[in-house]
Structure 1
Amino acid sequence: MAEIVIKNVRKEFGDFTAVKESSFTIEDGEFFMLLGPSGCGKTTTLRMIAGLELPTSGEIWLDGEEISQKPPSQRDIAFVFQMFALYPHMNVYKNLSYPLVSQGMNRAAVRDKVDEVAGILGIRDILKKPVGGLSGGDRQRVALGRAIVRNPKAFMMDEPLGALDAEFREHMSEELRALHDRMNATTVYVTHDQLEAMQMGDKIVVMNNAVVEQFGTPQEIYDKPASMFVADFIGSPSMNFLGFDGTVPEGTTSVDLQGQAMAVPRQIEGAAGKMVFGVRPEHVTLSDSGNYRGEVVATEYLGTTQIITLETPNGELKARVPSGQVATTGEKVGLGFNAETITLFDETSGRALRSDLNNGVLSNG
């Protein structure tokens, strides 16, 4: 089993802390995403798992063995970089066979293994071609092939599709996920693209400012964000934040927005002061009636749906509604919210309050 366990891992570069006490578990066979903006610590975390960086403190376990201070050569991990890292003076066959030849495998076994991997990736027809003349997609396939040809315990991928154009990147992401499913190999994948992470990952770690903000499945992270950062980073458009001042007692099931009682999940954790009412655009409804109202300021047509931007007494709000629903700029409309989906946040800390919606996720994440 290639389970990877990260325990309180920290990485410092002089006075700069790149990763702060991170802990999570990557199950055997998972496609695991490290997601976050540039500089958040995700690539440093990946490099520590691979052995390209050593942690300042903490433990890294692979397949039941503590490896945090072992060199890369003793970890049996394959690394795929964004810029392919191929040998330009070799053809495709020699690039694929190089890891096996360097391990001392006999020629016949090397030929069989390269043929198997080339068949999986659909590159048998280019084995004799120099890599310098290949398209970006074919070079990425060769880079993947060189990683999987030796059957490592786990794959580390640092934005491997980042150099591809948008259309081909989407195609390759589908191929990469399908390849993972065929091989059932543990894969750790770094990306700053939340759509890529949500589409491909079994589990996601969201990082920001060297800290793990949340760890869970894509649906948990989208539906039950642990912080305002996660709620804002995940989703397009992102979660709406309506600010209000008030007290949220334990057990409450509604909050006051400009004198209007808005239903929320039962709150397990209370708070007081500057609060935020969080709601996804698809959980907002528009109607002719209703005492809580907003003014339409813009519409964006998306085919079957449209995004309506409104000004409310508590801030700007976006609603995703059917494209057939009429909304005229300047019109004031009633607003309703799906109470079961609401998350309340403490504005100062940015942390989500525990409720019936997110209690298990926030307790265990």
Structure 2
Amino acid sequence: MAQIRIENLRKDFGDFTAVQSSSFTIEDGEFFMLLGPSGCGKTTTLRMMAGLELPTSGEIYIDGEEVGTRRASQRDIAFVFQMFALYPHMNVRRNIAYPLRSQGVSRAETKRRVEEIARLLGIEDILDTPVGGLSGGDRQRVGLGRAIVREPKAFFMDEPLGALDAEFREHMAEELRALHDRMGATTVYVTHDQLEAMQMGDKIVVMNHGVVEQFGVPQDLYDWPATLFVAGFLGSPPMNVLRFDGAVAQGAEVLDLAGAAIAVPAAREGARGALALGVRPEHVHLEAEAGYRAQVLATEYLGTTQIVTLRTAQGEVKARIPSDIHVREGETTGLRFDARNVTLFDVASGRALRSAGNEKVLAHG
């Protein structure tokens, strides 16, 4: 397996820029997620890494070698597509064996590796079955088997679970992650589903309009979003963002926003105007005596918790609270935010305000 390094990668299609100066490193053995909405550039990035698209500029390193101008067949990678792309006239065994036969691997070695992969994927009993009558899950396993059997340096996967129904997709995500852990493979996986990315990934790159918005481990992206886009894209419900107009007093050390005391002096560098407070629903608490007032608009029961939607002077807020707390639509209550879990944003730039000496957003109570 191999480390993959991307440096200043760019892709233009005429006047349209699909990927803008992207840089990140995928460590050997990581399960790495490229996450973002449709049209954000994640699939184009993956296709450039795989050699299916040539970059306009920038470098791609696989296992220390620059491969940006090499063909896909020269990069020692395997690509798994969303629709599996199986050969309908072949049975399962022949589909999995096809890459080895194309490389001239001996029949005995091909048979050994195909049967080993079939055991790994739990499809030994369907090796001689035509692929046309297989279920979506079995077809996916065959597609994975055909990729794995080559023993490449890295696996590239473009939404391989997208064609499955929601319940089975979650099950297959667990299987795919477990398979990755057993193999110790370097895997790059494209998805638009933030829950899938959080569930499976060791690291996540969040992209939007061809730009890398943030890169890191899932928990850091969730707890400390670097931009307003990431704050709104990750989480279900996403982070509440409340805009507060008005300048911060010169020399102020603490800003009181909705009862949350936010350290601001170093963080204010670069702020050009209005600020926004971001807080996850689980860090919003309903307290009758709190000074920041809100009106209950709706409740959504989720078993052990409920999502309460409230109207404030700065817009709607969602709170995730225990289901045994009784609230009534139309009533007015107070809100308290966990100050240690609040993110402060500069609205003009859309970026979180950070201390030069601390990578986490400055927030304390």
Give TM-score scaled by structure 1 length.
0.95
Contact 1:274–1:346 (Cα < 8 Å) also in 2:
yes
Contact 2:344–2:361 (Cα < 8 Å) also in 1:
no
Amino acid of the residue matched to residue 51 of structure 1?
G
Computed over aligned residues only, the root mean square deviation of the Cα atoms, in angstroms, reads 1.7
DSSP 3-state at the match of 1:329: coil
Rounded to whole Å, the distance in 1 between the matches of 2:194 and 2:293 is 32
Contact 1:250–1:268 (Cα < 8 Å) also in 2:
no
1:334 aligns with 2:312: no
Amino acid of the residue matched to residue 326 of structure 2?
V
| Cα deviations by residue, 1:174-197 (Å, 9 ceiling, x for unpaired) | 000000000000000000000000
1:226 aligns with 2:211: no
The 1:227/1:28 distance shift into structure 2, 3 A limit, reads: same
Contact 1:35–1:206 (Cα < 8 Å) also in 2:
yes
1:216 is aligned to 216
The 1:90/1:361 distance shift into structure 2, 3 A limit, reads: farther
Contact 1:307–1:321 (Cα < 8 Å) also in 2:
yes
The 1:247/1:272 distance shift into structure 2, 3 A limit, reads: farther
Contact 2:285–2:336 (Cα < 8 Å) also in 1:
yes
1:239 is aligned to 239
Structure 1 gap segments, 5+ residues each: none
Q: In percent, how many aligned pairs have the same letter?
A: 70
The 1:123/1:265 distance shift into structure 2, 3 A limit, reads: farther
Q: CA deviation at 1:166?
A: 0.7
Contact 2:259–2:291 (Cα < 8 Å) also in 1:
no
Rounded to whole Å, the distance in 2 between the matches of 1:215 and 1:28 is 17
2:9 is aligned to 9
Rounded to whole Å, the distance in 1 between the matches of 2:35 and 2:358 is 21
The 1:250/1:224 distance shift into structure 2, 3 A limit, reads: farther
Contact 2:260–2:338 (Cα < 8 Å) also in 1:
no
1:268 is aligned to 266
1:62 aligns with 2:62: yes
Rounded to whole Å, the distance in 2 between the matches of 1:4 and 1:112 is 30
Q: CA deviation at 1:360?
A: 5.4
| Cα deviations by residue, 1:316-358 (Å, 9 ceiling, x for unpaired) | 1000000011111111111101001111111122111114996
Contact 1:340–1:357 (Cα < 8 Å) also in 2:
no
Amino acid of the residue matched to residue 77 of structure 1?
I
Rounded to whole Å, the distance in 2 between the matches of 1:288 and 1:18 is 49
Amino acid of the residue matched to residue 153 of structure 1?
K
Q: How does 1:123-138 map to 2 (within 5 A)?
A: 123-138=123-138
DSSP 3-state at the match of 2:290: coil
Q: CA deviation at 1:90?
A: 0.3
1:33 aligns with 2:33: yes
DSSP 3-state at the match of 1:241: strand
1:195 is aligned to 195
Which range moves more in the overlay, 301-310 or 244-253?
Answer: 244-253
Q: CA deviation at 1:252?
A: 5.2
Q: CA deviation at 1:254?
A: 3.6
Amino acid of the residue matched to residue 190 of structure 1?
V
The 1:73/1:244 distance shift into structure 2, 3 A limit, reads: same
Rounded to whole Å, the distance in 2 between the matches of 1:356 and 1:8 is 24
Rounded to whole Å, the distance in 2 between the matches of 1:145 and 1:349 is 45
Q: How does 1:142-291 map to 2 (within 5 A)?
A: 142-248=142-248, 254-257=254-257, 262-265=260-263, 268-270=266-268, 271-291=271-291
Structure 2 gap segments, 5+ residues each: none
Rounded to whole Å, the distance in 2 between the matches of 1:138 and 1:250 is 63
